[in-house]
Amino acid sequence: MSDLHARVEETRGILARIARDFSPAVFASSLAAEDMVLTDLILKAGLPIGIFSLETGRLHKETLEVLDKVRDHYGVEIALFRPQPALVEEYVGKNGLNAFYDSVEMRKECCRVRKVEPLGRALAGKKAWITGQRRAQSTTRAELAVQEDDAAHGMAKFNPLADWSEQDVWQYIRDNNVPYNSLHERGYPSIGCEPCTRAIQPGEDIRAGRWWWENPESKECGLHLVDGKLIRIKSVAA
Ligand code: SF4
């Protein structure tokens, strides 16, 4: 059995266990390549795991097009959670539309309004959530475990692709004809909001295009942080 085949089988097993033991569980998809692998595995197995995405209001049109690709390919609508208009108006009115370039604090506050608050609504009442994070993606993810105790949201958090490589992800996408964001073909290995993501040069770190004006240690959007601080998420043996 090839390494990838073994990884796929293991990931299928993890997803089936989440569906069985942690219902209701949801998958937070950023619509990036990793998340399309998980989408494919969840939908083809017919698992009762809801899939949602955070529509921040600042996404690339290519990212929004992935929603259409998923609908066409699988006949499934990904649920969208949007920021509260009043909170966006308050932030923009007080700080300006692109204040996130001014400081890490301003950036985290924008992420809080556009991502963290909607995420809280998406996770309400759930027993577990799933992400497409991988260890190899950045220095902040080097110790990522497959299963974590997310104390901030009071539930389990799963990263079923934690030990997948970039090559594994693309091999799976090619082998299974999985739809993906066309920006990946234009130098964007990691994709977030449009004003906070840029293409990278060959050889650069794969998250170098995310919040490129900040240092690597602060490059998380707050979804895995509490009140701006990294939470010590307790790893749980899978
Ligand atoms: S990634 Fe940028 S635009 Fe998107 S929520 Fe965070 S700071 Fe705001």
Which two structure tokens, joined as six digits, stand for 191?
A: 């994709």
Residue 6 class from Cβ within 10 Å (0-12 exposed, 13-18 middle, 19+ buried)?
exposed
Residue 118 class from Cβ within 10 Å (0-12 exposed, 13-18 middle, 19+ buried)?
buried
What's the pLDDT score for residue 76?
A: 97
What's the pLDDT score for residue 233?
A: 41
Hey, what CATH class is 3-84+118-235 in?
Answer: alpha beta
* Tens place of pLDDT per residue across the chain (238 aa): 679 999 999 999 999 999 999 999 999 999 999 999 999 999 999 999 999 999 999 999 999 999 999 999 999 999 999 999 999 999 999 999 999 999 999 999 999 999 999 999 999 999 999 999 999 876 667 789 999 999 999 999 999 999 999 999 999 999 999 999 999 999 998 899 999 999 988 888 877 888 888 876 666 665 554 444 444 344 443 3
Which two structure tokens, joined as six digits, stand for 42?
A: 């969840």
- With a CB cutoff of 8 Å and minimum separation 6, the contacts of 39 are 27, 29, 51, 70, 74, 78, 178
What's the pLDDT score for residue 164?
A: 96
The preferred substitution site among 54, 58, 90 for testing ligand 1, maximizing ligand atoms within 8 Å of CB, is: 58
Q: Is the beta carbon of 119 within 6 A of some atom in ligand 1? A: no
What's the pLDDT score for residue 102?
A: 93
State which ligand 1 atom lies nearest to the alpha carbon of 107.
7
Q: Is the beta carbon of 58 within 6 A of some atom in ligand 1? A: yes
Binding residue per annotation — 111? yes
Q: How far is the CA of 201 from the centre of ligand 1 (A)?
A: 22
Domains of the chain, residue spans: 3-84+118-235
Q: Is the beta carbon of 70 within 6 A of some atom in ligand 1? A: no
Closest CA to 195 of 110, 75, 68: 110
Nearest CA, atom 3, ligand 1: 193
Active-site positions read 221
